[in-house]
Structure 1
């Protein structure tokens, strides 16, 4: 599946959700609509969506975006960063692309700074859930189909995030790299 089709499906799910998505609950609603959008597609198209999702979220496999997630979530593990990127996909293409280009742009995303639940694990499982619905089988069949598709067109994902690694607990570095987010999440006292 190409990038345009991927984002068209995400945007349809966002429109169907019909509400603000900046909260974790709103992103979960988008994920449920994403499952509905995907479940009417062929199994191969659902697998293609997952491959496109992997390609898109790999763009966000960056230290600076992880630092933004760390600020916004009050800390961020490996899994937490995956869930954060799921939440970010649920925000739509425009927010995603701005955040990847400039993670500090998330300062204007309308997130309540007291809500550190900027995550959406449900987006990560949307394709598997849709595949199970579409085929009447379980998610194991989805993972097998995805594995077969990935073997047919292998892609080597980078082991480490792109960009320069730095200490997320160093306030000075965070303020220098993400000044707007730092002003919201780590104000100078």
Structure 2
């Protein structure tokens, strides 16, 4: 599986689900379980790469404005939500996080379930129940794709007082005075 196919799966599941993340998760699992186990592993690795790519102080600032706080978990789940929005929104947000103001209606966004899609599809495809070193997450980790490390965060750090100027559209829509 390459990046193009990865994004086609994400975009197709999002479209088919009509914005319902529970349905989007089920759509992704249903599509993925038809792939060979190696391709499911590729999906997990590409997801990890996207989560690492989105580990940026600008994305973190957007989440801070939306939620009022940033924790390790909420930041990871927000990046999952961002990947789940599809390639065009993902790439636009990486380039200019303030573009999220145009696609967000509610502040708190999370798609934690995206983290288990490949594992569930792999279990269904292989019949294996117990996770071991052959599972997608384990293989991704063995390849150095650790999206949970804070050593990857790119860009310039910010202070809360900089947020209104850093992301003015998001601040106007969701920020506190």
Match of 1:70 among 47, 60, 64: 64
- Report the alpha carbon displacement of residue 57 of structure 1 after superposing the two structures with TM: 1.7
- Report the alpha carbon displacement of residue 149 of structure 1 after superposing the two structures with TM: 6.0
Query: Using a 3 Å threshold, how does the CA distance of structure 1 residues 84 and 155 change in structure 2: closer, same or farther?
Result: closer
Aligned to 1:134: 125
> Structure 1: any 5+ residue segments left out of the alignment?
none
Find the aligned partners of 1:139 and 1:92 in 2 and give their Cα distance.
31
Match of 2:157 among 149, 165, 171: 165
Size of the alignment, in residue pairs?
175
Find the aligned partners of 1:176 and 1:65 in 2 and give their Cα distance.
15
Match of 1:117 among 108, 122, 126: 108
Query: Using a 3 Å threshold, how does the CA distance of structure 1 residues 62 and 37 change in structure 2: closer, same or farther?
Result: same
TM-score (norm 2): 0.88
TM-score (norm 1): 0.83
Indicate conservation of the 8 Å contact 2:118/2:136, yes or no. Answer: no
1:80-159 matches, cutoff 5 A? 80-112=74-106, 116-138=107-129, 140-141=131-132, 144=135, 146-148=137-139, 151=142, 153-154=143-144, 159=151
- Report the alpha carbon displacement of residue 118 of structure 1 after superposing the two structures with TM: 0.4
